[in-house]
């Protein structure tokens, strides 16, 4: 097992005209569980395939600890990779499919049996070990494919590319916690690719957010939620995502729709900025509350566990997440307050300060 270090690694599929992955320097620490989170087409699979050796990067070097593996093919890297679409021997039993990666590496028979039973029990496959994998439903086939990736105890890393897409949603929760258990047990470096924030946040020690071919922020789930460094992270994580409202800094004060929202950090030059604040942290009150930004309620979604109060401040939409039973109706005049410790300022999408 090893740290996996990307040194200036980037990839272009069209001879350098566009970069599916912009050159980046980044280290995956040994034995951590990572989620690689981003929308479709942002470069997640490209990044994973560079780590496993399926793709040689256009620029940069890949190191496993001090060993330069940039030109080393997949077979020489000791990586277990699970693809979104199950890769199984359809005519083999589930047991033989799970045992295959171990037998292939001449692991003693008893140890093969122990690992296969351990993994199949954790993933709920122990009742179907004797079945041919072709006879399983697509969800189960995907779980067997996941099991094949997890069965080897000695690997540099386990790479999982959207491994649960066709699994029943209720079962997904269970499997994610089983995955955590397996990870604790084996201490593998695990990289789990997903475009689903719930999957990422419930699974990982560290979430690496990718957008448009670059890592925009990495951190523990709470850090990404409470302290987004990039507007994209604010939008992509959270439900609904962070409110972003155009504002103006003048005389050291930040103004939105004619209302002061607070003092800007020292040293921030005057001019336009964007304010980011999550719906959970916007405070809402009647017009008598001050100081605040005047706004009008447009809609209230009663979600059961909470309410979403949709407002418009001038022409800017702001959603407020409140306790269930919020006493607001469409067309009510309200004031919004953005608490300084939870409100950030962005320029060119990147955080440049706070209130």
Binding site for ligand ATP (CB under 6 A): 13, 20, 38, 40-46, 195
Cβ proximity to ligand ATP: between 20 and 136 the closer is 20
Q: Which is nearer to ligand ATP, 13 or 26 (CB)?
A: 13
Other CB atoms within 10 Å distance of the CB of residue 148: 24
Coil vs helix vs strand at 119:
helix
As measured in angstroms, the least distance from the Cβ of 228 to ligand ATP is 20
Report the residue number, 43 or 279, with the smaller CB distance to ligand ATP: 43
Structure letter (DSSP) for residue 344: E
User: Rounded to an integer, what distance in angstroms lies between the CA atom of residue 5 and that of residue 64?
Assistant: 6
Smallest gap, in angstroms, from Cβ of residue 259 to ligand ATP?
Answer: 40
Cβ nearer to ligand ATP, comparing 198 with 289: 198
- For residues 337 and 254, is the Cβ–Cβ distance under 8 A? no
Q: For residue 240, say if its preceding peptide bond is cis, omega within 30 degrees of 0.
A: yes
Question: CB pairs under 8 A, 24+ apart, for 328-332?
Answer: 328/284, 328/297, 328/300, 329/297, 329/300, 330/297, 330/298, 330/299, 330/300, 331/296, 331/297, 332/296, 332/297
What is the closest distance, in whole angstroms, from the C-beta atom of residue 163 to ligand ATP in the complex? 13
DSSP symbol at 342: G
Nearer to ligand ATP, 44 or 140 (CB): 44
CA 21 to chain centre: 17
Distances (CA, A) of 199 to 57, 90, 139, 189: 28, 28, 17, 17
CB 216 to ligand ATP: min, Å: 13
Cβ proximity to ligand ATP, 44 vs 316, nearer residue: 44
- Whose structure tokens read 């041919």? 132
- Report residue 146 as tokens: 């996941």
CB of 149 to ligand ATP, least distance (A): 17
Do strands 259-263 and 253-256 pair parallel, antiparallel, or not at all (unpaired)? antiparallel
Minimum CB–partner distance for residue 54 and ligand ATP (Å)? 11
Query: 38 or 238, CB closer to ligand ATP?
Result: 38
User: How distant is the alpha carbon of residue 73 from its chain centre?
Assistant: 28
- Closest to ligand ATP by CB, 45 vs 97, is 45
Triad 48, 53, 55: Cα angle to 5°: 75
Q: Which runs of E-coded beta strand occur in 52-146?
A: 59-64, 67-68, 79-82
Q: How far is the CB of 23 from ligand ATP (least distance, A)?
A: 15
Quote the tokens at residue 86. 């199950």
Q: Is the Cβ of residue 45 or residue 186 nearer to ligand ATP in the bound state? A: 45
Structure tokens at 274: 């964007």
Q: How far is the CB of 59 from ligand ATP (least distance, A)?
A: 15
CB of 39 to ligand ATP, least distance (A): 7
């Amino acid at each position: 097992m090893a740290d996996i270090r990307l040194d200036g690694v980037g990839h272009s599929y069209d001879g350098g005209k566009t970069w599916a992955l912009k050159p980046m320097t980044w280290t995956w620490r040994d034995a951590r569980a990572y989620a690689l989170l981003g929308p479709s087409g942002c470069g997640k699979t490209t990044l994973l395939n560079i780590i496993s050796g399926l793709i040689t990067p256009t620029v940069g070097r890949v190191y496993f600890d001090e060993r330069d593996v940039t030109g080393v093919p997949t077979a020489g890297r000791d990586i277990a990779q699970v693809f979104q679409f199950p890769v199984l021997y359809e005519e083999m039993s589930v047991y033989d499919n799970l045992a295959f990666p171990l037998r292939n590496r001449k692991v003693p028979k008893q140890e093969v049996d122990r690992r296969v039973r351990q993994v199949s029990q954790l993933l709920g496959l122990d009742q179907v070990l004797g079945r041919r994998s072709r006879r399983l439903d697509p969800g189960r086939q995907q779980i067997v494919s996941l099991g094949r990736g997890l069965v080897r105890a000695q690997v540099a890393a386990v790479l999982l590319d959207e491994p649960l897409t066709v699994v029943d949603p209720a079962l997904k929760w269970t499997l994610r916690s089983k995955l955590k258990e397996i990870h604790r047990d084996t201490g593998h470096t695990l990289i789990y690719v997903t475009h689903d924030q719930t999957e990422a946040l419930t699974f990982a020690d560290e979430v690496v957010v990718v957008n448009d071919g670059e890592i925009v922020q990495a951190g523990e789930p709470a850090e990404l939620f409470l302290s987004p460094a990039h507007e994209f992270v604010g939008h992509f994580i959270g439900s609904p995502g962070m409110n972003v409202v155009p504002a103006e800094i003048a005389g050291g004060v930040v103004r939105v729709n004619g209302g002061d929202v607070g003092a800007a950090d020292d040293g921030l030059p005057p001019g336009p900025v964007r304010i980011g604040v999550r719906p959970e942290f916007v405070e809402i009150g009647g017009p008598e509350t001050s100081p605040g930004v005047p706004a009008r309620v447009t809609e209230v979604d009663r979600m059961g566990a909470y309410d979403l109060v949709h407002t418009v401040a001038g022409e800017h939409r702001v959603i407020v997440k409140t306790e269930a039973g919020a006493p607001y109706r469409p067309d009510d005049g309200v004031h919004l307050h953005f608490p300084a410790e939870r409100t950030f300022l962005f320029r060119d999408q990147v955080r440049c300060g706070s209130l």
